[in-house]
Amino acid sequence: MGIGLTDDHRELGEVVRALLERREARAAARAMLEAAEDSLPSFWPEIAELGWLGLHIHAEYGGSGYGLAELVVVVEEFGRAVAPGPFVPTVVASATVAACGTAAQRERLLPGLIDGSVTAGVGPAGDLEITADGRARGDAGVVLGAPTADLLLLGAGPDVLVVERTADGVTVSAPPNLDPTRRSGHVTLSEVRPLAVLPGARDTATAIARTLFAAEAVGGASDCVTDAVEYAKTRTQFGRTIATFQAVKHHCADMFVAAESAVATVWDAARAADDARSKAAAETQAVARSKAAARTPEAAQFQLIAAATAALAFPAYVRDAELNIQIHGGIGFTWEHDAHLHLRRALALRALFGGDAPAAQVYALTAAGTVRRNSLDLPAEAEVLRTGIRSDTERIAALDESDRHRELIATGYLMPHWPKPWGRSASAVEQLVIDEEMALAGVKRPDYSITGWVILTLIQHGTDDQIDRYVEKALLREEVWCQLFSEPEAGSDAAAVKTRAIRVDGGWRVTGQKVWTSGAHVASRGLATVRTDPDAPKHAGITAMIIDMRAEGVLVRPLRTLLGTSEFNEVFFQDVFVPDEDVVGTPNAGWRVARATLGNERVSIGGGSAAGSFAEDMLMPMAREHAHRLAGAEVRIGQFLADEHAVRLLELRRAVRSIEGAGPGPEGNITKLKQAQHWSEQTAIMSAITGPELALAEGQSAVVGMMTLGARAMSIAGGTSEITRNQIAERILGMPRDPLIT
């Protein structure tokens, strides 16, 4: 879907993509496969003229004055095209100099990097030292772009060196490359006088490099998804397109989820970089800018989220490139096909900027107390709304609990996204302001869970009489509702309804069975789907009805789960009478009611994933005390924490889409799938850290054991992960349904 969410960012991406297609950047990359050496691509002067090399640099040095938030949108498109040339290493170098250099260094180095007359290579690793007289020596390791770059950006302990490639004492060896479309070289220094030394800049430079090369990686990964899906739609095997095969759909869905997870973290890493830059710029002039940037909380947050980005983006690119070839089959393994261009680029990026180090840093920074919280820049209208909302919430906060609850209902603040009079028909912006002010005032709104979404469906599709009879009682928590959709043979196929209703005088007689009904044992009423026309097509002939759970003929039998508890139930109906006034919507049109979505979508930036509080409150304390029980603990936990950020940021991007009026994105389906995987991995880590004590159901080990057992439900409840993958493939990626299913 792309990094850009605003109209301006999306338009920028489209412009870049169009130019790279027009200038045949992909063909230029292919031409480099067997070229003798690197050379500047033909479009280099044009991108310099357009100002893309200085998009993120202040105007006083010849740049456009934007930030990394804009630059990553451009870099993403270069990654999508597998564009050759030094664009990305050059902007990494200029961004590092701009963030960490002195005024004199910026004045000297930035103009050439911006106008395209100077290119750069980037070396993330190496073992360099600076002698007492200011000379550099040692092995700089593998440097991306080194064979032809004018300047080399190299790490030396905590510092960063800017070295001229042609300076005395610089040796660059350029053997054959895994990725000939943009070559790397091995660099050694022997008593080299650096062009510039950026003290203490290595952490910032690493974060910038990770962010920008990750932006390139997500562009490449996204292109792999598109390529695989489009090929699968046309490739025919066994009499049908392979896009109808569930195995292929699941590959494509997993590719898409990996790419979008990385997109979310790149997006936030760029935002964090700009936050850190703004904070550093605001520091007193008495402190050197590089030191100011290094010590701010914003800088630590940038390093954290950049490390998380690297931990996700580079493996995602490699895996998506591999699966793209897999889906293409033999043709994808040929030299003539472009799929291997992505795999070569992905493997090189992972080798240079990925590995275990990013995940280990995520763990280290988190363990040290660095936290990246959600933040949004709300439009000006938010402040206009805030004054009245703050006054209301402060008044409500002063009431006792019972009066507060009734006042929340009366004012619509209880469910602000609901239509009036029960809610406030609040826009996305108003909902977020309400959330902020409620939190500040200490007002907690109750979670209605299933009752909430069933009652909203009733408000949207029910009669005035039904709304009068049921809504207020539910909001006052006098009645709890359940959702009677699932049936024994239906599983995730909610339309496979066999519970039947027969027309009788004044209503219907319902007979059948529902299962996996959460809360049925405590519910007063339920919203059920029943088949009222057995001769109609599968999704027709269904009617939605309100069932009195205490009516004659209703039997609720709790199901004991593997945890030993009973949260859901079997429900049996034997000639249960439902009056006509309790039919919701039109008879035989109940599938529309069942599929009803939240008309005024609930928008919240929340605090992260459902697992978030456990990771912060339980996993990390356990890890600090017993990490030695888990081999490779820092890397595995760091990878988990990186994914935790991705889940959080997918929800944040969903909120931004609502604010921007950009329409729904893919985040809801993605987070449904990721939450199941995420919870399972967290409990697996906690089990390993617990060690042998897990076998004893006492104390903390009992909690971990129950969480680990319960994790199995996450990939089943609300639709299995397999069905979610089908939905991602069919509804988001546009892949066809299995034609064998009628």
* 314-338: pLDDT as tens digits: 999 999 999 999 999 999 999 999 9
Where residue 291 falls among pLDDT bands split at 50, 70, 90?
A: low
DSSP, collapsed to helix, strand or coil, labels residue 525 as strand
pLDDT attached to residue 283? 60
pLDDT attached to residue 600? 40
Structure token digits, residue 95: 């961004």
Structure token digits, residue 609: 């994933």
Residue pair 291/200 in contact (Cβ under 8 Å)? The answer is yes
pLDDT attached to residue 374? 85
Is the confidence at residue 208, as pLDDT, over 70? yes
pLDDT attached to residue 547? 97
**For 352-371, what is the mean pLDDT?**
95
pLDDT attached to residue 286? 43
Residue 661's φ and ψ, nearest 5 degrees, are 70, 30
For the whole model, what pTM was predicted?
Answer: 0.92
DSSP, res 589: B
Is the confidence at residue 218, as pLDDT, over 70? yes
pLDDT attached to residue 490? 76
The total number of residues shown for the chain amounts to: 742
Return the minimum-mean-pLDDT range out of 285-289, 580-584, 621-625: 285-289
Residue pair 501/543 in contact (Cβ under 8 Å)? The answer is yes
Q: Is 502 exposed, middle or buried (0-12, 13-18, 19+ CB in 10 A)?
A: exposed
Q: Cα separations (Å) of 599 from 423, 457, 593, 705?
A: 12, 9, 12, 39
pLDDT attached to residue 718? 76
Is the confidence at residue 199, as pLDDT, over 60? yes
Is the confidence at residue 627, as pLDDT, over 90? no
pLDDT attached to residue 667? 82
**For 698-723, what is the mean pLDDT?**
88
Q: Based on C-alpha coordinates, what's the Rg of the chain?
A: 29
pLDDT attached to residue 629? 87
Is the confidence at residue 599, as pLDDT, over 50? no
**For 420-448, what is the mean pLDDT?**
92
How open is the CA angle 2-375-370, to the nearest 5 degrees?
A: 105
Is the confidence at residue 138, as pLDDT, over 60? yes
pLDDT attached to residue 295? 66
Q: How far is residue 730's CA from residue 244's CA, in Å, rounded to a whole number?
A: 9
Q: At what angle do helices 633-660 and 246-282 cross, to 10 degrees?
A: 80
Is the confidence at residue 279, as pLDDT, over 90? no
Pure H helices in 627-720: 633-660, 667-690, 699-710
Is the confidence at residue 603, as pLDDT, over 70? no
Residue pair 287/196 in contact (Cβ under 8 Å)? The answer is no
Is the confidence at residue 628, as pLDDT, over 70? yes
Mean pLDDT, rounded, of the chain: 91
**For 362-377, what is the mean pLDDT?**
90
Is the confidence at residue 347, as pLDDT, over 60? yes
**Homologous superfamily of domain range 612-732:** Butyryl-CoA Dehydrogenase, subunit A, domain 3 (1.20.140.10)
Helices (H) and strands (E) in the chain, counts: 24, 18
Where residue 741 falls among pLDDT bands split at 50, 70, 90?
A: low
Residue pair 664/1 in contact (Cβ under 8 Å)? The answer is no
Is the confidence at residue 531, as pLDDT, over 90? yes
Where residue 612 falls among pLDDT bands split at 50, 70, 90?
A: very low
Domain ranges of the chain: 381-446, 464-594, 612-732
Is the confidence at residue 607, as pLDDT, over 60? no
Q: Which long-range contacts (CB under 8 A, 24 or more apart) does 60-68 make?
A: 61/98, 61/106, 61/107, 61/110, 61/111, 61/114, 62/110, 62/111, 62/114, 62/115, 63/110, 63/114, 67/270, 67/273, 67/274, 67/277, 68/95, 68/208, 68/211, 68/212, 68/269, 68/270, 68/273, 68/274
Is the confidence at residue 534, as pLDDT, over 80? yes
**For 487-503, what is the mean pLDDT?**
85
Is the confidence at residue 610, as pLDDT, over 90? no
Q: What is the per-residue DSSP string for 478-512?
A: SS-EEEE---TTTTT-TT----EEEEETTEEEEEE
Q: Cα separations (Å) of 313 from 19, 304, 403?
A: 25, 14, 50
CATH number for region 464-594:
2.40.110.10
Give, for 84, the enclosing helix (H) or strand (E). none
**For 662-689, what is the mean pLDDT?**
87
**For 602-612, what is the mean pLDDT?**
45
Return the minimum-mean-pLDDT range out of 117-131, 208-222, 589-603: 589-603
Is the confidence at residue 10, as pLDDT, over 80? yes
Residue pair 227/264 in contact (Cβ under 8 Å)? The answer is no
Closest CA to 346 of 367, 325, 318: 318
Q: Is 506 exposed, middle or buried (0-12, 13-18, 19+ CB in 10 A)?
A: exposed
Q: Is the dihedral of CA 691, 692, 697, 699 positive or negative?
A: negative
Q: Cα separations (Å) of 527 from 163, 481, 514, 569, 623?
A: 70, 8, 11, 15, 44
Asked whether the bond before 692 is cis by omega within 30 degrees of 0, the reply is no
Active site residues: 601
